[in-house]
Structure 1
Amino acid sequence: MIIPAELTQCLKHSKRLAILTGAGISAESGVPTFRDAQTGLWAQYNPTELATPEAFQQNPKLVWEWYAWRQQLVAKAEPNAGHLALVELEHHQPSLTIVTQNIDGLHQRAGSNRVIELHGNINRFKCATENRILEQWEKQTAIPPHCPYCNGLIRPDVVWFGESLPVFALEQALQAIERSDVLLTIGTSALVQPAATLPLKALQQGATVIEINPETTPLTPCVHFSLRGKSGDILPKLLKSVWGDTQT
């Protein structure tokens, strides 16, 4: 792939770089997308019917066990070349901020420092009653376990259908996007709201928007540069075109 010279110069001279990542970059690590995860015993369930507050209220054990199974899938995954390239990119652009729709924590495991999680983290837990983040609790036989403070049920700290995004995370994401002069959108379908509006806000603010995705998306006609392919292939080449040999 030939990287356009204009793109190279744009990235090299960026002062406020922002990254928006979606399920595509995690899929390259073997993390199934939300709907692709429905295999084996879970194939009979519609994931949109499990990832709701109502489902947890009606059958908390079922929802907990489904997330426990998904946690096992995430635990087997390792950061890929795309994740590692973003870590390298941060070395060149210390102000870089990653806004991710993914809940697997692979960016942090790869070594990225400034990560805003719009949809939470599957490996973090909170009290369903008080919304308190819980680092640990005594071992219990109950499924789900109970909050050590109020005895409410413990749930994954992820955003379910019908729930709003965490206010602070959304505010941070908006600030990072609106202040950026270059935005890389990687592996996102540009369909899930409100994250899908973030690149449009960057465009409105005059930022250069670069899309990296194997497929075209609703965003493709709007961006300045559209690179077709996987992040693990394109990002290392992009970094090399700007700064020469990289560590990835």
Structure 2
Amino acid sequence: MANPSSSPHLVVLTGAGMSAESGIQTFRAADGLWADHPIEEVATPEGWARDPERVLRFYNARRDQVRSARPNAAHQALAELEADGFTVSIVTQNIDDLHERAGSRHVVHLHGEVLKARSSVKADLRYPLPQGGIEMGDLCDLGSQLRPDVVWFGEAVPRFGDALELVAEADLLLVVGTSMAVMPAASLIDAAPMAAPRVLVDPQADELITTGVNGLALSAGEGVPRLVEHWRRQRRLVLPGEVL
């Protein structure tokens, strides 16, 4: 099928709600991960320094969960839109690989990737983890303990600049499954061009939307395929009044 006219660029910001429908436990829900695992113990440099073995156990369990999960309808719809000729870039706060497994080829992981390990002394020294986890005594090429390739609270977000550049190129910005409450990711929505429509897909969209943002109060698995179907039918990125 021919490319859509002018190759419209859809930039998608995704958060925990995107992966929740694939069975990946979120952090902030009432029964979420933070209920049993305090942030300061498993997701900060200080927690790592105090008890690295506990941190490794926590992320090994997250890794097992990700491997057993499968992309849902929202992941698949975005990959299908890209395959249909649209330019689709995804900026995700999620540390899983579900976008990639669905077929999306342009994904920026703001907070790292749980299926990778990295050196504890040189952040850009990374290693894929096709199976298994990280144990104490697993070392990088420089001889230092491996740690999860995840951005912890209090750490810099290395790919934030890449995300800013993508959002600044958006013809339409789609926000899925995130309240956009965590900084600096929350500031990305303001980086889109003024002329670019903004759409938020979230069950609580009516409470979360701000001025200039269109809300679709549906889950990711319902709302994203509905939007994608409209765009594929129209062959361009337009706000679907009958959907919103």
**Following the alignment from structure 2 to structure 1, what is the Cα–Cα distance between the partners of residues 215 and 168?**
20
Percent of aligned pairs sharing the same letter: 37
SS in 1 for 2:224: helix
Among candidates 16, 19, 43, match of residue 12 of structure 2 = 19
Which residue number corresponds to residue 175 of structure 1? Answer: 165
**Following the alignment from structure 1 to structure 2, what is the Cα–Cα distance between the partners of residues 68 and 184?**
31
SS in 2 for 1:54: helix
Unmatched 5+ stretches in structure 2: 235-244
Flag the 1:107–1:58 CA change in 2: closer, same or farther, 3 A. same
Structure 2 residue identity aligned to 1:112: S
Answer whether contact 2:78 2:228 (CA < 8 A) is retained: no
Task: Tell me if 1:38 matches 2:28.
Answer: no
Q: Residues 22-70 of structure 1: CA distance to partner in whole angstroms, max 9, x if unpaired?
A: 110100111011244439xx82x31343111111111111110111111
Which residue number corresponds to residue 67 of structure 2? Answer: 75
Task: Tell me if 1:64 matches 2:59.
Answer: no
SS in 2 for 1:18: strand
Among candidates 217, 224, 231, match of residue 242 of structure 1 = 231
Answer whether contact 2:10 2:89 (CA < 8 A) is retained: yes
Among candidates 154, 173, 179, match of residue 162 of structure 1 = 154
Q: CA deviation at 1:103?
A: 0.3
Structure 2 residue identity aligned to 1:21: T
Structure 2 residue identity aligned to 1:101: Q
Q: CA deviation at 1:135?
A: 3.9
Which residue number corresponds to residue 3 of structure 1? Answer: none
Q: CA deviation at 1:237?
A: 1.9
Residues 216-227 of structure 1 aligned to structure 2 (within 5 Å): 216=205, 220-227=209-216
Structure 2 residue identity aligned to 1:216: A
Which residue number corresponds to residue 7 of structure 1? Answer: none
**Following the alignment from structure 2 to structure 1, what is the Cα–Cα distance between the partners of residues 79 and 50?**
42
79-88 or 227-236: which moved more?
A: 227-236
Structure 1 residue identity aligned to 2:13: L
**Following the alignment from structure 1 to structure 2, what is the Cα–Cα distance between the partners of residues 183 and 93?**
17
Q: CA deviation at 1:219?
A: 5.1
Aligned-residue RMSD, C-alpha:
2.6
Q: Which runs of 4+ in 1 moved over 6 A?
A: 11-14
Q: Residues 161-191 of structure 1: CA distance to partner in whole angstroms, max 9, x if unpaired?
A: 110101xx22221111011121001111110
Which residue number corresponds to residue 8 of structure 1? Answer: none
Q: Greater helix share, 1 or 2?
A: 1
Which residue number corresponds to residue 92 of structure 1? Answer: 84
Flag the 1:231–1:148 CA change in 2: closer, same or farther, 3 A. closer
SS in 2 for 1:29: coil
Q: What's the TM-score, normalizing by structure 2?
A: 0.84
**Following the alignment from structure 2 to structure 1, what is the Cα–Cα distance between the partners of residues 221 and 6?**
23
Task: Tell me if 1:50 matches 2:42.
Answer: yes
Across the two proteins, how many residue pairs are aligned to each other?
226
Q: Residues 60-101 of structure 1: CA distance to partner in whole angstroms, max 9, x if unpaired?
A: 111101111111111111100000000011123432110100
Which residue number corresponds to residue 4 of structure 1? Answer: none
Which residue number corresponds to residue 179 of structure 2? Answer: 189
Residues 86-125 of structure 1 aligned to structure 2 (within 5 Å): 86-125=78-117
Which residue number corresponds to residue 151 of structure 1? Answer: 143
Structure 2 residue identity aligned to 1:75: R
Q: What's the TM-score, normalizing by structure 1?
A: 0.82
